[in-house]
Structures are given as C-alpha cells and as structure tokens.
Amino acid sequence: MKSDTDERGLFIPVILGTSRMGRASENVARFVVRHLAAMPGIETHLIDVLELAPRIDGAGEEIKIPAFSELCMRADAFVLVAPEYNHGYPGLLKHVLDTNLKEYIHKAVGICGVSAGNFGGTRVIENLLPVLRELGLVTIFWDGNFSAAQKLFDAAGQLLDPAYVRRIDKFAKELVWMAKVLRYGRERVSLEV
Amino acid sequence: MKSDTDERGLFIPVILGTSRMGRASENVARFVVRHLAAMPGIETHLIDVLELAPRIDGAGEEIKIPAFSELCMRADAFVLVAPEYNHGYPGLLKHVLDTNLKEYIHKAVGICGVSAGNFGGTRVIENLLPVLRELGLVTIFWDGNFSAAQKLFDAAGQLLDPAYVRRIDKFAKELVWMAKVLRYGRERVSLEV
Amino acid sequence: MKSDTDERGLFIPVILGTSRMGRASENVARFVVRHLAAMPGIETHLIDVLELAPRIDGAGEEIKIPAFSELCMRADAFVLVAPEYNHGYPGLLKHVLDTNLKEYIHKAVGICGVSAGNFGGTRVIENLLPVLRELGLVTIFWDGNFSAAQKLFDAAGQLLDPAYVRRIDKFAKELVWMAKVLRYGRERVSLEV
Amino acid sequence: MKSDTDERGLFIPVILGTSRMGRASENVARFVVRHLAAMPGIETHLIDVLELAPRIDGAGEEIKIPAFSELCMRADAFVLVAPEYNHGYPGLLKHVLDTNLKEYIHKAVGICGVSAGNFGGTRVIENLLPVLRELGLVTIFWDGNFSAAQKLFDAAGQLLDPAYVRRIDKFAKELVWMAKVLRYGRERVSLEV
C-alpha cells in the first residue's frame, strides 16, 4: 500500500499559450482548469499569455514579468496548452516561458497539444520537449491531444466529445503524481550524495 | 562540366532572430551579411526582428507585416541567425516567421546557430528543423555554428577567429547552390507528372 | 508555362523500415510501390530492411551492404516507410541508413509514418528529420500519415480507405518534383559561385 | 535540512550504445562506470549492446532479451552512452531499448553524448528525448558531453582531461537525486488522487 502522508494541496496553473484570435486553445485551457479545479486538493489558475503582455524589446530574464514569475514560483506543476503553429510552438508562449528559470526547477509539466487537423498537436509536443527539459521541468509521459479543436466545443465552450474527460483524467492523475513526487524531492532529498 | 546558364543574381536576406539586449547574434548577422554581399551575384539585406515590431495580440498570418512579407516574397533563400534560448528558438523569431507562408515555399534556408556556450547553437538548429520544413523551406545541411559568441568579435564587431570565414564560405556556397536549384524548380519544373 | 524538358525516368526505391512480425508497414510499402509504379516515368523497387540482414557487430560505413549501396547510388529519391516505435524510428532502419553517406547527397526523400494509433506516425517523422538532413537528403514537406495501420488493409493487402490514394498522389507528385529539381542541380549547377 | 532517510543503495547500469569498431564510447562508458562505482551506495554495471546480440528478425518486446530485461527491471536509473551517428542515435541502441517497456516506467536516465567533433553529442541527446519520455523514463537536465572523444583517453583508457571529472560528478549527483525521488514515488505515492 502506498503510504505518502503529505496532505497539502498542490498549485497547478494552466498556461494558455496563444494570442491568436478565435483561439480554440482557450476552450481547451478552460476545460483543463475546470477538470483540475474539481480534483481534491488541487488549486489551479488560468495564465493567459495574451494578458501577460510581455515586452518584445528584450528576451529572457531581462524582461521578467513579476506577476507571472510569482505564480511560477508558487506552482508545483504546470499544464501547457500549446497550439501547433507550423509544427512548432507559438512564439509568444516561448517568449513568456523564457522569462523564468529557477522558478521551474524540478517541477512537473504536462502538455496539451492543440491542432486544427487530426494529429492532436503531437508535433508541437515533440518540439517543446528539449526546451522544457532545459528549463528544469519534468515533462510527464501522458499528453492531452486535442484534434480538430475548433469542432470540439460548443458555442458556450462546453466539450462535445466525452471521451476527452477520461483521457484528461489520466493525464491529470499522472501530473499530480509527478508533482507530489518532485515536491518530496525538492523538500526532502539532498543533491549531495 | 556543370552547365546551368542562369546569370541572374539571387536575393538572400539574413534574419537576425533576437531582440535580447547586447545580443552577440547581431555581430554574427552582420558578419554573414558582409560575407554574402561580397559574393558575386548575391544581394542581401539584414532583417532585424526587433525592428519589425510585430503585434502580439494575434499570431500567424492575421498579423502579417507587409514590409517583411515583401522581402520574403522576393527572396530566393534565407539565412536565419538564431541564438539558442533554453535549447529552443527565440519566441520572437518564431512569432515573426509564422506571419508568412506562401512566401517561403520551395526556397532555401541556412541556419547560423549562436550560443554562449561551446556547442555552436546545435540545439536551436535541431529545434528549428520541423518548423522550417512545414513552412515549405528546404534547410541546407551545412550550418553556421557560433560558439562563445560574446568573445568571437571585437568591440567594433570584427570577427576575431578567421576559421569562421572559411566555414561560412562553405555554408554560403551550399546555400547559393540550393537557392539556384530551387529557383530552377519553381520556374521550370511542373508539379504535374 | 513550365519548360523543363528532361524526359528521363526517375528511380525511386521504397525502403520498408521494420522487421517486426505482422508488420502493417509492409502493406503500406507495397501500396506506395504500386502507386509509384503506375506513374509515368517512375521506376521503383521495394527494399526490405529485414532482407538486407545487416551485420550488427559494427555500424556505419564499416558494415556497408553492397547491394543496398548500389540501389541508393542509382536512386533519384527515396520513400521511407517508417513505423513509429516509442515515438522514434526503428533501430534497424537507422542501422541500415547509416551504412551509406555519399549515396544520398542532394537527393529527395519522402516519409510515410505508420502508427497503430491515431496520429499517423507524426512523431517518427519529426524524429527522422535531423538524421535525413545530415545524410544529405532533402525531406519534402508532404508526408504520408497512416493511422491505425492494422485496419487500413484487407487480408490481401488491399487498401480499404480510398482517401489515401489522393493523399499519396499529392505526396508522390511533390517527391517527383523535388527529385527532378535536385537531379538538375546535381548534374547542372556548380557548387562554385 | 533535507531529511530523506532511505539508506538503501541504488542500482544504476550504464548502457554502452554502440557496436562500432574502435568505439571511443567504450572509454566513456568505462569512465562513467568507474565514477559511479566510487560513489557511496551506488551499484553499477556495464551493459554492452554488442554483447546483448539482439535478434534482428523482429522488433520490440517480441525479441525480448531476458538478461537485459532483468537488469532493467532491477535498475533505479540508467546512464546511456550514446555516440552521435548522423545527428541521431545508433540503430542498435534503439533496437535494444525497444525490447522493454514496463521495466523503465518512472525511472531516471542521464545521457552521455559522444561525438567525434566539437559539439559533445548534443544532437543525439536531443534526438533521444522523445523516445526516452515515451518509454516512461525521466531524462535529467544535466548531460555528459564528450567532444573529440577519440582524443580524450590514452591507450589504457584513462581520461586525459580532468575537467570531465567535475562535470560527470554534477551529472551523477543529479541522476542519483532523481533516482531517489522517483523510487520514493514508485514505492510510496499512489496514482489515485
């Protein structure tokens, strides 16, 4: 029987990684936020890269966004909602992610790929892996894959295909597991041998 | 003996892919511009993503930048000068690249990776490959690899290590070759079998 | 009007990249071979990595397979049929590809990704891009994406979903275009400026 | 103060991922084995893909190698010593890795990239990331980067550049940390919320 007794909650913000007009990714992000918020012990928050309004006359930590950095510092894990733009990640998402570094170390991240076509954003997920690793994040091995995202939600933003609920539940459980495990590590395991 | 008789010049702009302050990549881009400009039949131009000042309340072709699109439409090939940020490409570079599509189809591109460390920006180059392919560009198999870029140039922006001249010459010749070959294809070879 | 007058045929072998028992990829490869063989001016050939039976007590050009190298040398372009194994390429396919080098330079390649699941082998395609580029190949920007490959063919190996015919036709036309263009380049355009 | 009180040792085998003759990677692997063996509480073992002599008339779990699977099942973490072949991983390494699956889940892995040139195998590392993630492994964010590997060791296989000792020590400490943290997770943290 598993015996971890840490009863503290986890803070898992969801980063909506696009500012494109009419973005289907917003529906995906809100769906993930609702799902996480309904899980016991999980606090979540929608971080919208559009609202962060980063400066573009600089890059990396020289254009740090204090409110964003504070949320990241407090986070135990992250969900990235990343639409696939030309098989890569949205520039604005990367621009914003690059403004932090120590805020991410030894924390968990799960990726929800979003695509207009049939392949569930698999390519943006692959493209993000080296970046997230270098940021110190651990990417879990379950993904959210949202294909044909424009048709997945009704006008009120409600999901039309219930199969996604079960899938996002597996994804969220794996993310929570990794978040707990890495928090244990950050707090209790020394890097000295 | 090779017998292509097309004597027209080629237009090969260099895209400086970062707005970070004190960017060593600017020295790299200016070095590449000087090298290309000295080659017979090559016209070049420095495109600075900072000066393009793209909107960030949108993405892709909805925020098209006419002056940039015109340069891309007229280009036969491109050089990307891409610093490596957290093993990926700068967000601003991707944000700008995504504003075009048909402007790139069946044209050549060469990448100059720039890194503060020892590995010549190899990782940002790998990270760009799927994106450039999806944009319709053909990435040549020679790269520019600028390691420890802050120390490669003097205060006046002159290159301190002459070995790079020979390397960039191989890179430029391969790029010119591919640019000529693809121009022949765009103009003379039908997609119908 | 396009005016290339080269009437010679093209040789485009199809490499079946797996030795897994019951491989659905064999059906895909045979479908692509039939499609290419029916195009005017295209000669094709199925290369089965299982039949090449490469040595494994070495790697790269030290274990060159003469019959395979001769086919590659004669080829104008290639199709890779690559099943997705753990989001990467089959080891045997890479082991075989690595035995050549100059045989590939400035030739075209198209990838057919094959997966048991829904995402059409997109991830093995992304994983192959840096390798194919380093081999000197130009990967076209149309892919074949064969999802749920075990169900796509009947017991006689005939394709059940006719939509794939139209898709593979676009793929094949782009590959033929790139093969012609690069052949022109290899034969007629000098690397010297 | 960190307070994890688990005093059990860790088993961290090193996988030598190439069968190429004269492989410099063997020196790298033996160096890493010696380094790990000298750390308190670490048991290690050299796994040589050449000696595993996998069948090649099949792939994946259908050609499972019992002795290898048992070592992987017992492992808490892995080191992969991966030479860079054409910017990708050696086929034989992938062929062998694909023979297991559940043996890897929620375990740590660190990669030592090996290259003949100057870039420390960075490209094979990037190429392995999606594969290792899909296998259920967590790739740490420190790497070993062995450039010009043929010149790094003397005829007796002793390392000539002491700077690598300090680097591999950081790498090993991070790997041990992740191995401990994930073992805690596997044993003590439930996937149920």
Contacts of C96 (CB under 8 A, 6+ apart): C15, C17, C49, C52, C54, C65, C68, D91
Chain C residues in contact with D133 (beta carbon < 8 A) = 87
Question: Which tokens belong to D30?
Answer: 């033996």
Of B123, B145, B147, the CB nearest to D126: B123
- Residue in chain C closest to B187 (alpha carbons) equals C2
Quote the minimal CA–CA distance from B8 to chain A in Å: 32
- D57 in contact with C, Cβ within 8 Å: yes
| Separation of alpha carbons B25 and B112, rounded Å | 9
Contacts A–C by Cβ distance under 8 A: 25
Of C19, C60, C92, the CB nearest to D85: C60
Which chains form contacts with chain C, at 3 or more CB pairs under 8 Å? A, B, D
At CB < 8 A and 24+ separation, what contacts does A2-9 make? A2/D187, A2/D188, A2/D189, A2/D190, A3/D188, A4/A180, A4/A184, A4/D188, A4/D189, A4/D190, A6/A180, A6/A183, A6/A184, A7/A41, A8/A41, A9/A41, A9/A42, A9/A43
Residues A88, A121 contacting (CB under 8 angstroms): no
Is C126's CB within 8 Å of D126's CB? no
Quote the minimal CA–CA distance from D82 to chain C in Å: 13
Contacts A–B by Cβ distance under 8 A: 117
Chain A residues in contact with C126 (beta carbon < 8 A) = 87, 123, 126-127
| pLDDT greater than 80 at residue B116 | yes
- B126 in contact with D, Cβ within 8 Å: yes
**B76, burial (CB in 10 Å: exposed 0-12, middle 13-18, buried 19+):** buried
Is A118's CB within 8 Å of C118's CB? yes
Q: Which residue has the higher pLDDT, C163 or D3?
A: C163
Chain B residues in contact with C177 (beta carbon < 8 A) = 185, 189-191
pLDDT at A2: 85
Chain C residues in contact with B139 (beta carbon < 8 A) = 133
- Residues C120-157: pLDDT tens digits? 999 999 999 999 999 999 999 999 999 999 999 999 99
At D21, is the pLDDT very low, low, confident or very high (cuts 50, 70, 90)? confident
- A145 in contact with C, Cβ within 8 Å: yes
- What would the mean pLDDT of D131-159 be, rounded to a whole number? 96
Is C92's CB within 8 Å of D59's CB? yes
Which chains form contacts with chain D, at 3 or more CB pairs under 8 Å? A, B, C
The DSSP element (H or E) to which D108 belongs, if any, is strand D107-114
pLDDT at C22: 81
pLDDT at A180: 98
Quote the minimal CA–CA distance from B161 to chain A in Å: 27
- A126 in contact with C, Cβ within 8 Å: yes
Query: What torsion do the CA atoms of C68, C72, C73, C75 make, to the nearest 10 degrees?
Result: 140
Chain A residues in contact with D39 (beta carbon < 8 A) = 193
- D175 in contact with A, Cβ within 8 Å: no
Is C123's CB within 8 Å of A120's CB? no
| Separation of alpha carbons D121 and D118, rounded Å | 8
What are the distances in angstroms from CA C98 to CA B43, C36, C55, C193, D111? 38, 25, 12, 31, 21
Of D118, D122, D147, the CB nearest to B123: D122
pLDDT at A169: 98
The DSSP element (H or E) to which A146 belongs, if any, is strand A144-146
pLDDT at B22: 81
Type of residue at D94: K
pLDDT at A170: 98
**A69, burial (CB in 10 Å: exposed 0-12, middle 13-18, buried 19+):** middle
pLDDT at D193: 76
Chain D residues in contact with A126 (beta carbon < 8 A) = 130
- Residue in chain D closest to C61 (alpha carbons) equals D20
- What would the mean pLDDT of A18-36 be, rounded to a whole number? 94
**C39, burial (CB in 10 Å: exposed 0-12, middle 13-18, buried 19+):** middle
Is D123's CB within 8 Å of B120's CB? no
Chain B residues in contact with A18 (beta carbon < 8 A) = 59
Percent of chain B with pLDDT over 90: 93
pLDDT at A165: 96
Of B4, B39, B141, the CB nearest to C136: B141
At C81, is the pLDDT very low, low, confident or very high (cuts 50, 70, 90)? very high
- What would the mean pLDDT of A102-108 be, rounded to a whole number? 98
| pLDDT greater than 90 at residue A159 | yes
pLDDT at C1: 66
Question: A10-186 sits in which CATH class?
Answer: alpha beta
Domain ranges of chain B: 10-185
Is B2's CB within 8 Å of C190's CB? yes
Of A19, A130, A134, the CB nearest to B59: A19
Q: How far is CA C11 from the centre of its chain?
A: 12
- Residue in chain D closest to B118 (alpha carbons) equals D119
- What would the mean pLDDT of D43-59 be, rounded to a whole number? 97
Chain A residues in contact with D191 (beta carbon < 8 A) = 173-174, 177
- Residue in chain B closest to D119 (alpha carbons) equals B119
- Residues B51-103: pLDDT tens digits? 999 999 999 999 999 999 999 999 999 999 999 999 999 999 999 999 999 99
Quote the minimal CA–CA distance from D104 to chain C in Å: 12
pLDDT at B193: 77
User: Which one of 3.40.50.360, 3.40.605.10, 3.20.20.330, 2.30.30.40 gives the CATH number of domain B10-185?
Assistant: 3.40.50.360
pLDDT at D23: 84
- Residues C8-43: pLDDT tens digits? 999 999 999 999 988 899 999 999 999 999 999 999
Q: What is the 3-state secondary structure (H, E, C) of B52-88?
A: HCCCCCCCHHHHCCHHHHHHHHHCCEEEEEEECECCE
Chain B residues 73-112 with a CB less than 8 Å from chain A: 85-98
Chain A residues in contact with C123 (beta carbon < 8 A) = 122-123, 126
- What would the mean pLDDT of A186-193 be, rounded to a whole number? 92
Question: Which tokens belong to D54?
Answer: 């996998």
- What would the mean pLDDT of A25-54 be, rounded to a whole number? 97
- D163 in contact with A, Cβ within 8 Å: no
Is D19's CB within 8 Å of C56's CB? yes
Residues C76, C46 contacting (CB under 8 angstroms): no
| Separation of alpha carbons A58 and B184, rounded Å | 40
Is B87's CB within 8 Å of D126's CB? yes
Per the DSSP assignment, residues forming a β-bridge with D15 are D47, D80
Answer yes or no: pTM beyond 0.90: yes
pLDDT at B1: 66
Chain A residues in contact with C87 (beta carbon < 8 A) = 126
- Residue in chain A closest to B95 (alpha carbons) equals A91
Is D184's CB within 8 Å of A187's CB? no
Which chains form contacts with chain B, at 3 or more CB pairs under 8 Å? A, C, D
- Residues B123-165: pLDDT tens digits? 999 999 999 999 999 999 999 999 999 999 999 999 999 999 9
Chain A residues in contact with B123 (beta carbon < 8 A) = 130
| Domain made up of C12-184: CATH architecture | 3-Layer(aba) Sandwich (3.40)
pLDDT at A1: 66
Chain D residues in contact with B127 (beta carbon < 8 A) = 126
- Residue in chain D closest to C21 (alpha carbons) equals D58
Is A190's CB within 8 Å of D4's CB? yes
At B45, is the pLDDT very low, low, confident or very high (cuts 50, 70, 90)? very high
At A130, is the pLDDT very low, low, confident or very high (cuts 50, 70, 90)? very high
